[in-house]
Structure formats: structure tokens, C-alpha cells
Amino acid sequence: MRDARDVLIRPVISEKSVGLLEHSKYSFWVDPASNKIEIKHAVEKMFKVKVEEVRTLNIKGKLKKVGRSAGMTPGRKKAVVTLREGHKIEGFAGL
């Protein structure tokens, strides 16, 4: 099993992800090679909470143009983790 710091990259800070905190749902950018089981164990180990559900999204890179040259932004993987009733992550995203 990989180390938890290798699976979780950083929390997602957006208007939508902050709104999900009311429902005990936390969003993280994760390693694209990680699976739901590794993500669940990483969150439980790092934050000492119990995870109920993990949902993942693979986000494709976008085409960006600067002048004549074009390139792609890197693709990423996002995980939305739902915690069990009564559990929460203290100080998540500076809140």
C-alpha cells in the first residue's frame, strides 16, 4: 500500500467544494493512478476519520493557445470523499 501523502495531492478549493462541506463531502486532487480503496485508506490515515463513500472523476486536459503555439493542460483526477455521520476534518481548506 502506498503512503497517504503520495495518494492525496491537495484539497480542492472552489465555491462548489466549499458548499459540499455542509454535507460532510470533501474534495481532493489525487494521484491519477490511485483507486478508491487507496484514497479511502489515505484519508482515514491522514485525518483520523471514517470514510463512508468515495467518488472519483477523471478530468481531461484542455487545449490552450498562446499566439501560434498550442498545448494541452495536464489531466487530473479528483476525489469527492463522504465522511460518516459525526466525523469532520478540522481546518480543511483554511475554514
**What average pLDDT is seen over the chain?**
93
Q: Please say if the pLDDT value at position 48 is more than 80.
A: yes
Provide mean pLDDT across the span 64-89. Answer: 95
Cβ-contact 23, 55 below 8 angstroms? no
pLDDT at 39: 97
Quick one: what percent of the chain has pLDDT higher than 90? 86
Q: Which amino acid is at 10?
A: R
Confidence (pLDDT) at 91: 81
> Does the pLDDT of residue 95 top 90, yes or no?
no
Is 4-85 in CATH node 3.20.20.70? no
The per-residue pLDDT for 94 is: 57
Q: What is the DSSP string of 44-62?
A: HHHH---EEEEEEEEE---
For 95, which DSSP code? -
